[in-house]
Each structure stands twice: as C-alpha cells, then as structure tokens.
Amino acid sequence: MTMRHSGIGMTSSRTRQRMIDRLRDQGIRDEGVLAAMYEVPRHLFVDEALASRAYDDVSLPINYEQTISQPYIVARMIEVLRASTTRPIKRVLEIGTGCGYQAAVLAHVFPEVYTMERIEPLYQRASNKLRDLKIENVTVRYADGSAGLPESGPFDGIILAAAAPEMSAVLRGQLAAGGRMVLPVGRQEQWLYLVERTEQGFRESKLEPVKFVPLLMGKA
C-alpha cells in the first residue's frame, strides 16, 4: 500500500493494532469484526490532511456536512448485527454510504452488501474508492435510503449510519424473518436500537446513547 497519501508510519501495523486494542478496551468482542477493522485501510477513506487521525477514536469530516463514524460505533453496530442466533446474516443493507468505510468493513464480514447514499459526490467517491480497493461484493446506490431497497431485499441485516427521527416501519418491513436492524433513532437525544423480526412481529431493544448526523429526505 502506498505511503504517499498517508504520512510516515500511518499505515503501520502498530497504528492499526492500537485501534484494535482500544476497541477491545471499549468492549468489542467479535473477533471477525476486529479482524475486518484491522484489514480495512481507514486512512484511505478520509482526506489526506486528516489521514494522520484516521485511526483515532473520532468521527472526521468527509465534506458536505457529513462525517465518517468513529471506529467504536462502526464496530459496535456490526457486532450487534452479527450476534444473530436466529438467522445467518448474508445480505445486508447500509443506509448512508458516506465515504464508504463502513461498507468496506461490512464487505469483509458479510457476503452481500448494498449501500445507499443521497449526496451524489459522496456516492461517486465511495463507489470509486470501493472499486479501487477491489471490494466487489458491495453494490452502491445513489438514492434516498429512507425508502430502503425493496427490489434487492428482503435483508438479513439493515444498518443505518444516519439517525432516523423515529422508528421506520418501511425499513423494518424489508427485514427477512429472523433478520435484524441496527439504527440510531432521535433528533437531539439519540439512542441506538436493535430491531429483530420475529415470527410474531418485531422486538425492539434500546442499546446505548449515540450521536449521528440526521437521516434526510430526497437526493442532493
């Protein structure tokens, strides 16, 4: 991997290992998630000027008033999706591609990933990045993700990278039986929720307080 965009030492295995050690300290236990986060070159998804901070536990700006989520929350949401005991999680939908980082991590742990972005230049850039990195099991769509992607569903997992104002009936309707959705809900005060589709209906669990950019309507 080239060092040209990253500054001396940035991509070193020590830098990445420090992030993994920190994720363990923060309570992430899923070795598959930790391995994927070690593998995916996070510094290549942010601007050159921010690359030296790419492995810190912070969200960083990716332009258009959007941010790449902090490593902890990416790991946590994927860990919750993978904790399914009812159904193997194979086909996953992400809403809010942003720079494509979380989609790349998802692609390491799930066979089939769809991701949707409403801001065209972010969609373009993320598509190019995933192609350059030869990540081939992600389909990127330029569309308003609040309607989901019914033509490619139902999904075993759905993950939102932007906070919905309220629980979305449309999106949970695109879950397969036994499937699960992880999403931030709320405006000022936001909580991470897990929604499981059971035989009888849906089960919701409130997990932890979070801070995400809002889910917005329409394309931009």
Q: Which residues bind ligand SAH (CB under 6 A)?
A: 62, 66-69, 95-96, 98-99, 101-102, 116-119, 122, 144-146, 161-162, 213, 215-216
CB of 120 to ligand SAH, least distance (A): 10
Catalytic residue among 69, 127, 146, 168: 69
Residue 142 identity: Y
Between 8 and 169, name the residue whose CB sits nearer to ligand SAH. Answer: 169
Q: Hey, CA dihedral for 124, 122, 35, 92, is it positive or negative?
A: negative
Annotated catalytic residue 127: no
Between 89 and 164, name the residue whose CB sits nearer to ligand SAH. Answer: 164
CB of 106 to ligand SAH, least distance (A): 9
3-class DSSP assignment, residue 115:
strand
Residue 156, Cβ neighbours under 10 Å: how many?
A: 25
CB of 177 to ligand SAH, least distance (A): 25
Between 135 and 216, name the residue whose CB sits nearer to ligand SAH. Answer: 216
The Cα-based distances of 14 to 29, 43, 174 in angstroms read 20, 14, 41
CB of 220 to ligand SAH, least distance (A): 8
Question: CA 53, CA 103: separation in Å to the nearest integer?
Answer: 20
Question: CA 96, CA 214: separation in Å to the nearest integer?
Answer: 10
CB–CB of 106/92 below 8 Å? yes
Is it true that the peptide bond before 154 is cis, omega within 30 degrees of 0? yes
Largest Cα–Cα separation, the chain: 55
Structure tokens at 201: 């209906």
Between 86 and 207, name the residue whose CB sits nearer to ligand SAH. Answer: 207
Catalytic sites, residue numbers? 69
